[in-house]
Amino acid sequence: MEPHAQNAPHQRAFEEFSRDQIHSRVQRTALVCLLLFGGAWVVGRIVLAGHALEGPGRFWLGVLSLVSIAAWAAFRFLPLTRRHPAVLAVVFHILIAVCAGTHSAQMSDLNGPFFYGVYIVPPLSIGLALGLRMRIVMTVAGPVSWVVAYFVTNPAALEHRMIHVPIIILTGCSVISIYLGHQLHAVVRERFLLARQLEQQQVALEQHAAGLEEEVAEGSRAVEHLSRVLASSNLERADVARALHDDLGQLIVGVRMELEILERKLQRLSEPGEPRFEHLSTVVETLDRSVRTFIDRLRDPKPVGDLGESLEELVGPLRERSDLEITTAVGLRLPLDAAAREIMYRLVQEAVTNVFKHAEASRVDISILEGPDGSVIGTVKDDGRGFADDATDGLGLRGLRERARAASGSLSVESGEGGTTVQLTLPAPVAAIAEARA
């Protein structure tokens, strides 16, 4: 939006402000004139009766008082004066000047002191909030009306040999009054517009602050909701851990007991040297340890530590108990943050589990490397038989996709006759970048 268009509402507000100022100041001026002229008339009528203020002097003071009270009443009660205060102020100014000029002409000629009251007329408009055109009209109309009324009433004063001197002085007073009034009006206008802009900015700041407060309140509600969700999740994990301990743990104990009973019976029936149930017992023990480890992690989940060590701890037992060849490679210049380590660990855990369950593979290659753009790329590749496309929507891979999206990453799965490749890409880790810059 252009500056002129932006200031248009402020300019209209200033024009309204100017009309109000003119209206109130002219009303006060009329009241002051009424007090001055009326007071002078009372003094001439009562205190100085028979002296200086007899005759035309007292008469014109009365006329000036009537003009002042009429102007005050008009500006006080007529709605028209609020719409066009400057025009009616000029009319009031001219009437006062005409009456004062006629009054001065009947009191004395140019040799007397009364004519020089005209020098007071031009500065009267300095304090009014007028535009330049109306200011010139009002400043010039007052002295001209005074001078015309004076010389019409007292034409003999035109023959005074020094008449050009007061005319020159009056012209100078008028020019100076117009200049000072215009400069004062410009300063008032500038300050008014600046104040309105500051008010507008204050309103915008208050609205922005209110918006921020609302965002903070929404954030607080979200944090409270997340706290409740986390608390509920902790309770659910505790419930699952108890259920696993009570149900699956008891089943494992039962299986162990049945194996022991079965082994004792077979010892009596079988001949020495025949194979027994050592391997099955090892499987049960391994299952028991896995369940206990899982229960411990549910009760007190621990973050993934060093990624290379964690992956070796994950695949080491699988490598020992199977014929599967498993390789791991972690090549990162900068350490990952805890969230990224957790996601990569879950990737390997899920992919390797799928290999054991479905792939019938002989080799699995695991790598977590840094991409050219600083991203982190985790890859699990096997040489198994692959799987159908609809199998990529299982719960495990779906969970990996959700983890990747939450970290602004992506997950891709490619499967065919040559095997399956699961690849998870995360953007450059923020924590690692901050550490590198430090």
**Residue carrying the six token digits 């709605």:** 79
Tens-place pLDDT, residues 137-162 = 999 999 999 989 988 888 887 777 77
Nearest CA to 429 out of 353, 340, 345, 359 is that of 340
Angle subtended at Cα 94 by Cα 143 and Cα 56, rounded to the nearest 5 degrees: 85
pLDDT of residue 135: 92
- pLDDT tens for each residue of 293-325: 666 666 655 566 677 888 888 888 777 777 788
Token duo for residue 182: 């215009």
Q: For 63, what's the count of Cα atoms within 13 Å in the CB-facing half-sphere?
A: 15
Domain chopping of the chain, boundaries = 3-207, 306-437
The one-character DSSP state at 52 is T
CA gap 425, 427 in Å, rounded: 7
In the sheet that holds 363-370, the strands lie side by side as: 325-331, 363-370, 376-382, 419-426, 410-416
pLDDT > 80? residue 12 = yes
pLDDT category of residue 136 using cuts at 50, 70 and 90: very high
Dihedral sign of CA atoms 163, 166, 172, 178 in order:
negative
Distance CA(289)–CA(283), nearest Å, equals: 10
Whether 55 shows a pLDDT value over 70: the answer reads: no
Residue 93: closest CA among 132, 61, 62, 64: 64
Contacts of 395 (CB under 8 A, 6+ apart): none
Q: Which of 201-205, 245-249, 335-339 has the lowest mean pLDDT?
A: 245-249
- Which DSSP category does 335 fall into? P
- In tens, the pLDDT along 14-50 reads 889 889 999 999 999 899 988 988 888 777 666 655 5
Q: Check residue 231 and give its pLDDT.
A: 66
Selecting from 3.30.565.10, 3.40.228.10, 3.40.50.920, 3.30.70.60, what CATH number does the domain 306-437 have?
3.30.565.10
Least confident of 102-111, 228-237, 352-361: 228-237
Beta strand 325-331 with 376-382 is: unpaired
DSSP lists the bridge partners of residue 326 as: 364
In whole angstroms, what is the distance from residue 27 CA to residue 75 CA? 6
pLDDT at 137: 93
Q: Are 400 and 380 in contact (CB under 8 A)?
A: no
**What are the pLDDT digits (tens) for 385-429?**
877 665 556 667 888 888 888 888 888 988 877 888 999 999 876
Provide the sign of the torsion angle of the four alpha carbons 345, 346, 348, 353, taken in this order. positive
Burial class (CB in 10 A: 0-12, 13-18, 19+), 123: middle
Helices (H), 78-131: 80-83, 85-107
Supply the pLDDT for residue 1.
44
Neighbours of 381 (CB within 10 A): 21
Percent of the chain scored above 90 by pLDDT? 17
- pLDDT tens digits for 376-385? 999 999 988 8
Average pLDDT over residues 320-341: 82
Measured CA to CA in angstroms, residue 34 lies from 69, 333, 350 at distances of: 6, 93, 99
Distance CA 319, CA 360 (A): 14
Q: Under a CB-based contact definition with an 8 Å cutoff, are residues 412 and 406 in contact?
A: no
- pLDDT tens, position by position, 90-132: 999 999 999 888 888 887 766 666 677 888 889 988 988 888 9
How would residue 272 be classed by pLDDT, with cut points 50, 70 and 90? low
What pLDDT score does 433 carry?
Answer: 44
Closest CA to 44 of 28, 32, 61, 30: 61
